[in-house]
Amino acid sequence: MKSNPNEMNRRDFLKAGSIAVGALAVVGAGTFVLDKNAAEAMPREDFLRPPGAIDEEDFLYGCIKCGLCVQICPVDAIKLAGADEGLGYGTPYIAPRIQACDFSCDALQCVETCPTAVLDFRPFKEEGVRAVEKAAAEPGADLSTVNPFEVQKVAMKEAVLMGKAHVNRNTCLAHKKEGFKGNPRGDDFEGLLRSPYKNAASASPLKARDYDREICDLCIIECPIGEKAIIQRRSRSGKKLIPHVLDGCTGCGVCQMVCPTAEPSIVVEPI
Amino acid sequence: MASDYFSNAKKKSPLTSKTVEQMPHSLAGLSFKAWRDSRKKNHKMRNIRWAVLLFMNLLFVFSFWLDLSVLEGSLSGSRLLGFYLMDPFNSLQLLAISSTTGYMAMLTMNFWIGLFTILIFWFILGGRSFCSWMCPYHILAEWAEKVHNYLVNKKKIKEHQYHIGLRFVFLVGFVLLAVLTKNLVFENLNLVGIISKGMIYGPSLLLLWLLAIILFEVFVSRRFWCRYVCPIGATYSMVGKYSPLAVKFDYDKCGYCLECQKVCLVPHELWFVKRGKATQVTHFVDSDCTRCGLCVDVCPGHALTFAVKGASSIL
């Protein structure tokens, strides 16, 4: 190699260029291999895409890995994947058992902040507008008292679909007719939660809660969506009061986070 | 016209070289050596630049950690006081993929605002000035370069240089790979993003890749990544091609000492400092220049300065 780049000629360029093309080919081949593995590895229950995520195939290239969604989340539910995720490196995910999306932000701020709309706000916006129109058109609706934001945010929240919760009958305390007393995840658990029934302005640590339930129903009382997503009902035999997941479930994963069994007995399966 | 300063400058016939009497050291009444060493070691531009670079990168970190919300995101894409900013090479890959898949929803208004803001901003400030004033890898590479040069001077290792056009092979190659694999391939190798995200969101395994490149730069080829690979730098190089802000060369003050080329990251851009090469009394350094100011700091004759093209004729 010559010492001064000014003296390099076409031959030097072709020589180094062919090595560069070779290196690019290796990178390309590696990407194809990782791409195949990535497709097989998804979906996973500890790796939910944030609300509004578009198809995984488009998501992978549309996400520019800036982390704006991570920064805006008030409960730090969204994290960036490490290099062990292969091509998913730097993409956002939610591990609900560690910190679920509890809708503390009220208005899907991660979706609104995404610069490339891989968290796509359009369906939520449409849903919100439709709900406000519906509320206004309701017979007897007093437009001076209808708060469009309240209506809109509930509709947007309910339009989220990250996954669906499934109950494991073998380990669920309610299925065993057991109650629950105390703190579900221990004193070291850092997760935050904004309980729907408390009408709190922001989320607070789960470890500060103290429950006392005759039959365990934490997943039901803490569900941010409420009775459209999960209800308590009598089992077919009529002997048990068990949680029952409905179509309104958004897959936010709060139930998975609060479940007191060692392995969560209610788990969100990604869609 | 500003473009006259560089577009055809190299092809013109060179100016007659200075005689001994015309050399700046003779005019100052010094020997060449005394003149060359007359400028006290100073790192003014470098210190300002490092301060800006560290401040901006720490602003990213603290915007997140302390919830300052001033400069959110990372160098891959960010928001400055609410205004979006996009990495131009990321955007280029995304545009290339979107135009082949036909899924255009990602090209939101915020995307375009971010892309054009960045392009205009760095066009004004000189394109590759991003590299030396903002890129966190640049500062690491500067230190690695010091070690490398020390080893070369001690004859412990040999210098390896390659053709400077390689960056455009990588630029085109990475865009093609992005289209073929439908993935932002380069983002997984992007040292700028890896360091920026490592500082803000915590380190990842890809820091090993960073380490590998730094070791390669220390022991094999000086400034390998910045000079020959990084397509972000190549993109900014194109952005800054006609930028008004550049390093200006004043032939009358030059003593052919070549101190500037020794410190320069892109010495091929300082081709006119050699005896018998300059074709005009004023040259502007071309688009590969990162406006780092190292040459401005060392030039004994103050022949190299930051300047705005055409400003002398306007003011």
So where are chain A's domains?
12-102, 161-270
pLDDT band at B313 (very low <50, low <70, confident <90, very high): low
Strand partners, B248: B284, B305
Question: Which chain B residues are Cβ-neighbours of A30 within 8 angstroms?
Answer: none
- Name every residue whose Cβ is closer than 8 Å to that of residue A8 and which is 6 or more positions away in sequence: A2, B161, B162, B163, B164
Max mean pLDDT among A45-59, A110-124, B10-24 falls in A110-124
Q: What percentage of chain A has pLDDT greater than the value 70?
A: 95
Of B78, B94, B200, the CB nearest to A116: B94
The residue written with tokens 């539910």 in the block is A77
Contact (Cβ atoms closer than 8 angstroms) between residue B156 and residue B74: no
State yes or no: ipTM above 0.90. Answer: no
Asked if the model's pLDDT at residue B5 lies above 50, the reply is no
Q: Do B181 and A35 touch (CB under 8 A)?
A: yes
Q: Do A70 and B201 touch (CB under 8 A)?
A: yes
Q: Is A29 on the interface with B (CB under 8 A)?
A: no
pLDDT at A147 (0 to 100)? 80
Mean pLDDT of B107-124: 95
Asked if the model's pLDDT at residue B2 lies above 50, the reply is no
Q: Which domains does chain B have, with CATH numbers?
A: 2-38+244-314 (3.30.70), 46-238 (no CATH)
Q: Do B64 and A71 touch (CB under 8 A)?
A: yes
Asked if the model's pLDDT at residue A174 lies above 90, the reply is yes
Question: Which chain A residues are Cβ-neighbours of B79 within 8 angstroms?
Answer: 68, 113
Digit-coded pLDDT (tens) for B31-78: 899 998 888 888 999 999 999 999 999 999 999 999 888 999 999 999
Q: Distance between CA A176 and CA A261 in Å, rounded?
A: 12
Q: Do A66 and B78 touch (CB under 8 A)?
A: yes
Digit-coded pLDDT (tens) for B174-189: 999 999 999 999 999 9
User: Biggest alpha carbon distance in chain A?
Assistant: 89
How far is CA B131 from its chain centroid? 4
Q: Do B268 and A5 touch (CB under 8 A)?
A: yes
